Amino acid sequence: MRPPALTQFRTLAGEAVFDAVRRRVVAAIAVVSLLSLMLVDTCTTCSGGEVVVNGEVREMTAIAGWTGAVTFAVLGLWSIVLAGVLASEHLAQTLADGTATLALARPVGRGTFAFARLAGSLVIAFATGAVLLGATALFLEARSGLPTGPALAAAAHCAVGAVTIAALAMTTSLYLPRIATVLLVFVATGAITLANLIAMFRDAPGGLMGAIDRFGPPLATSILVALSPWIDQVQIPGSPLEIAIRQGGWAVAGIALLWAAFSRMEIQD
């Protein structure tokens, strides 16, 4: 008797999480996260004093929103990149060592197996992001007086962006070596971020950058729009609802592409 798909998914996802924890890259991520928190802790203590902006002396408290938004956005984008890096071999490795063949020899659907591997890598990415972004939000609230509501909304956008990048990275890993997939994660996230920032703080870009901003996943845009109560003078390219729909649409498309690619892939016994 074939177990229900949900039961299969839970079992396989649990195994995927344990596999992810045993990978050496997770230890490196833990170290980087700890160093990042130490840096954020140090930076947020500098909430007093003065700073010169365009030749004008201003209190640090007057620009706390901007510094907080930049700090939170950078860590949010870093969490998205980590999700892509973790997913870049989490499914492909099972094809290389034969784990996928053994699992699929049982009555397990390919989609269930692929989604379980994606979930396993995302659990680690979400846990890392929750620690980084949660601690940062608490630091900013306690030391700079910034409300946590916008931070929670921005963290939700980071989670959806992480799903998108992880699903696309996992799909790419079926066809390219791991190092190439990891490089693509960094390049793609960097290009999307640059296009989003150009559109928000300068005139609407044209050409390739304009197309990336208008049609690509709004990774940086969605985070900064959520943090807009902290900052001012931000030109939002589109309504918040349209940005949220495009963000969610890319996540669904990434998952669907992973399912389609893995379902059609020839697996050697």
| Domain boundaries along the sequence of the chain | 17-264
Give the Cβ contact number of residue 197 at 10 Å: 16
Task: Kindly report, residue by residue over 136-173, the tens digit of the pLDDT.
Answer: 999 888 877 889 999 999 999 999 999 999 999 999 99
pLDDT of residue 260: 94
Does the structure show a pLDDT above 60 at 96? yes
pLDDT of residue 181: 96
252/25: higher pLDDT: 252
pLDDT of residue 2: 61
Q: Among 35-39, 52-56, 190-194, 232-236, which range has the highest average pLDDT?
A: 190-194
The C-alpha angle with vertex 35 and arms to 76 and 30, in degrees rounded to 5, equals 75
pLDDT of residue 51: 47
pLDDT of residue 267: 74
pLDDT of residue 79: 93
pLDDT of residue 101: 82
The answer to whether the beta carbons of residues 121 and 90 sit under 8 Å apart is yes
Task: Kindly report, residue by residue over 257-267, the tens digit of the pLDDT.
Answer: 999 999 888 77
Q: Among 67-71, 124-128, 207-211, which range has the highest average pLDDT?
A: 124-128
d(CA 216, CA 80): 15
Contacting residues for 202 by C-beta, under 8 A, at least 6 apart: none
d(CA 15, CA 13): 5
Q: What is the pTM of this model?
A: 0.88
3-class SS letters over the chain: CCCCHHHHHHHHHHHHHHHHHCCHHHHHHHHHHHHHHHHHHHHHCCCCCEEEECCEEEEHHHHHHHHHHHHHHHHHHHHHHHHHHHHCCCCHHHHHHCHHHHHHHCCCCHHHHHHHHHHHHHHHHHHHHHHHHHHHHHHHHHHHCCCCHHHHHHHHHHHHHHHHHHHHHHHHCCCCCHHHHHHHHHHHHHHHHHHHHHHHHCCCCCHHHHHHHHHCCCHHHHHHHHCHHHCCCCCCCCCHHHHHHHHHHHHHHHHHHHHHHHHHCCCCC
The answer to whether the beta carbons of residues 233 and 79 sit under 8 Å apart is no
Task: Kindly report, residue by residue over 171-213, the tens digit of the pLDDT.
Answer: 999 999 999 999 999 999 999 999 998 888 776 667 888 888 8
d(CA 140, CA 118): 32
The answer to whether the beta carbons of residues 174 and 110 sit under 8 Å apart is no
